[in-house]
Homo-oligomer: A and B are copies of this chain.
Amino acid sequence: MLKQYLPISQWQKHYNKNTFNSDIIAAVIVTIMLIPQSLAYALLAGLPAQVGLYASILPLVAYSIFGTSSTLSVGPVAVISLMTAAAIGALGLQTIEQMVLAASTLALLSGLILLLMGFLRLGLLANLLSHPVISGFITAAGIIIAASQLQHLLGVTTSGHNLFQLLLSLYAQIEAINLITMSLGVLALALLWWVRSSFLPLLMQLGIKQKTAQIVAKTGPVLVIIVTLFISYFFDLEALGVAVVGHIPTGLPSLHIPHLDSAVFQQLISSALIISIIGFVESVSVAQTLAAKRRERISPDQELIGLGMSNIASSLSGSFPVTGGFSRSVVNFDAGAKSPAAGAFAAVGIALAALFLTPLIYFLPKASLAATIIIAVLSIIDFSVIKRTWQYSKTDFSAMLATIVLTLLAGVELGIIAGVSSSIILYLYRTSKPHCAQVGLLEGSQHFRNIERYSVDTCPTILTLRIDESLYFANARYLEDKVYDLVARSPQIKHFILMCPAVNFIDASALESLEAINERLADSQVKFHLSEVKGPVMDKLSCCHFLDQLTGEVYLSQYDAWQALHDNS
């Protein structure tokens, strides 16, 4: 029973020296990537740099115990860091201590929500996010993230959580730009861009084996960070007004449960819910993609528990919400990670960095971290998907457009809420007008066909409507309308038959509509019949009084109905 929630109890049985060696190599590479990333994402979230390191120690250990993916790399990620910044920014806090406390409260709430969803097996809730809404959201969030980093690249201070506010506030500061910071920032951007496109070919020209070269190339951004770090140290750029990361407390995070203030709780709970769902969807997509490549399986419900425990671990470390990140997980996968233990080994790496590297990090310019973030999010901004969605479906495109526009102009939370609601409403709208056809008997057969498409036999006192969808609240009223309309236009009819070969279920709203139709047809002296009702639907109808009240009959086949009523009339 308990083992169900502890995947580690399964994979540790087969753990051996080979798996250990593979995991260690992957962990070293991931650690090298994760150090600058975790500092950068803390910056993006508007928090002190060490908080990023703290988010990359215990959460990774927690995931390696409770997670099901052997290659997912959990920790700070760009979009969730941006959402954290927006959620905390809305509180209007004064001190950095209050902001760190709010961030760890957010991680705690998010962890508890994920755990609850996991125990209730609500992994399917993530389905409320349609693909176009997610890609639209990620692209828009990527643009906002890039815009929010321009301040560090230019040595100014901007504020705001949507594109409009950010650009306006940047424009107001245009004269305060620090040219040295800007030069360093542009240099870092250029180097990172070069590394992305030309480092791998260079390594291979140098005769390094393709697989090794690929892995080394992924650590390229870290080399750029180190280069700018040394430039900053050597020329004492801090004295020239270039913002550096500065003093970071050396050592591991102290553990404590964040004090839960009920006012802050109420303000953060909806942000925590959105962060949890977005984080989960992102993480599960990555985990599934990688698992499928090795014909492995991940369990979405157990992933909720793994990510929930990671977030609680992050909160206890005084840090912010985490989830599985795309780029790091791919590196982890390529570097050959064989089990979740690789994540725990990377945690050890980050812990060593927190213990010994912090004096060095002092001189790291914020501009080069900002450049790292900008280059990283460029890969998640994808305009081609907008065009493809437009071509494939105008409905999906509308939901995507609503998401993008609102995310850019009104912020991440309103953007995702608008996207989810519009995709749901558009879907309900689509199914609220089900296909239905008035049918007649195809001469010489027992088949009934649409009277508008076929030359069929009809009878002035009998009207048959075939409905091609399950009946539920969104289309119940449409059915009523349709029936009343048909009956009002056919004054001669005495029998109305609803033919239900494609009705898989009838919910309580539709049942009431059927009762209303039955009653109103009775008021007009028209009998209401059903035909071709499926077994399970019939079972449901039998347990209420509808069939007793029905003025007509239920016929097994439409032909039976036709024969019985046609002869009588």
Which A positions have Cβ atoms within 8 angstroms of B? 124, 126-133, 288-289, 291-293, 295-297, 300, 388-389, 391-393, 395-397, 423-425, 427-430, 432-433, 472-478, 480-481, 484-485, 487-488, 491, 505, 507-509, 511-513, 516, 520, 523-524, 540, 543-544
**Nearest chain B CB to A453 CB, angstrom units:** 14
Bound together, the chains give a CA A371 to CA B229 distance in angstroms of 80
Partner of A124, one of B396, B429, B485, B508: B429
Residues of B contacting A133 in the complex (Cβ-Cβ under 8 angstroms):
473
Residues of B within 8 Å of A128, CB to CB, are 425, 428, 473-474
Q: What are the residues of chain B within 8 A of A428 when measuring CB–CB? A: 127-128, 424
Shortest distance from the beta carbon of A495 to any chain B beta carbon, whole Å: 16
CB contacts (< 8 Å) of A544 on chain B: these are 388, 391-392
Let me know if A543 and B391 touch, CB within 8 A.
yes
List the number of copies, as a whole number: 2
Chain B, residue nearest A429 (CB): B124
Chain B residues closer than 8 Å to A475, beta-carbon distance: 127
- Shortest C-beta distance, A317 to chain B (Å), equals 31
Complex Cα–Cα for A127 and B507 (A)? 13
Q: What is the distance, in angstroms, from A70's C-beta to the closest C-beta of chain B?
A: 13
In the A-B complex, list the 3 residue pairs whose CB atoms are closest, starting with the nearest.
Answer: A130-B473, A292-B520, A396-B508
A295–B476 touching, CB < 8 Å = no
List 7 additional A-B contacts (Cβ < 8 Å) besides A128-B428, A291-B484.
A124-B429, A124-B477, A127-B432, A295-B487, A297-B484, A300-B481, A424-B424
> In chain B, what residue has the closest Cβ to A485?
B297
Other-chain contact of A296, B430, B488, B509 (Cβ < 8 Å): B488
Residues from chain B with Cβ under 8 Å of A523 in the complex? 292-293
- Contact across chains for A507 and B292 when beta carbons are under 8 A apart: no
Is B288's CB under 8 angstroms from A507's CB? no
B297 touches A392 (CB 8 A): no
Q: In the assembled complex, how far is the CB of residue A299 from the closest CB belonging to chain B, in whole angstroms?
A: 9
Contacts of A391 in B (CB 8 A): 543-544
- Which residues of chain B are near A432, meaning CB under 8 Å? 124, 127
Measured between alpha carbons, how far is A124 from B482 in the docked complex, in Å?
13
